[in-house]
Amino acid sequence: MSDLSNYRKSYDKSELLETTIPEDPINLFDKWFHEVEDFDSPETSGVEVNAMTISTIGLDGFPKSRVVLLKQFNFEGFIFYTNYNSEKGKAIANNPNVCLSFFWHTLERQVIIKGIAEKTSSNISDGYFASRPTGSKLGAIASNQSDVISSRTVLEENLKELEKDFVGLEIPRPDYWGGYIVKPVEVEFWQGRPNRLHDRIRYQLQSDFSWKIERLSS
């Protein structure tokens, strides 16, 4: 058994105070996102600032978390793309209540977002799909995401066939692939602080679409 009880770190890089935060969580998310982006670069730190964990409730009743990439955010919500027939797509179709989380360790920050996932419009999905590299477009068609396959060769052979089929042709977005927007109902910001007395600020959406702001104990 590995004993990790001596793994300890002091958090002292920043603070999160009610006197300096905006009334809307998206404004604070935007500020934090770009601060991490300016602080880190993938080439030097390995940090992908737009990497987020999405948790869904599966058809088997168990929660499941996996990392996906945030591709856009605005005052409506947070957008990512996937195969609608995948395990996560089926889970969202059955229960659209999801949780997104970001962990930016270099600035000792977390953001946890509870929200409701909805498919984006076709034109948004079409626009993003058109912007992808050719290999990524064909990969979305070659893989029946989450299906059991006999070997990696199945994927590689599918891709080779598609590369032949689409030589010189436009690659259309398949109907089963597209975007989701997660519309937040609760956003919690966590800033590491010394002595484990971390700052936690929670925004909760109200019926009039304003945000209730509360501090949580660490």
For residue 22, give the CATH number of its domain: 2.30.110.10
Summarised one tens digit per residue, pLDDT across range 57-111 is 999 999 999 999 999 999 999 999 999 999 999 999 999 999 999 999 999 999 9
**155 in any annotated domain:** no
**55 in any annotated domain:** yes
What range does the domain containing 38 cover?
18-125+177-216
Average pLDDT, the chain: 93
Catalytic choice (66, 152, 196, 202): 196
**50 in any annotated domain:** yes
Active site residue 8: no
Number of compact structural domains in the chain: 1
Summarised one tens digit per residue, pLDDT across range 123-155 is 999 999 999 999 999 999 988 888 877 899 988
**151 in any annotated domain:** no
5 band by pLDDT with thresholds 50, 70 and 90:
confident
Strands (E), the chain: 51-57, 63-69, 72-73, 78-83, 97-104, 109-119, 177-191, 199-205, 211-216
**137 in any annotated domain:** no
Q: How many other CB atoms are there within 10 angstroms of residue 193's CB atom?
A: 19
**158 in any annotated domain:** no
**138 in any annotated domain:** no
Which has more confidence, 4 or 67? 67
**4 in any annotated domain:** no
Summarised one tens digit per residue, pLDDT across range 108-123 is 999 999 999 999 999 9
Phi, psi for 118 (deg, rounded to 5) = -135, 150
Summarised one tens digit per residue, pLDDT across range 176-195 is 999 999 999 999 999 999 99
Phi, psi for 85 (deg, rounded to 5) = -90, 5
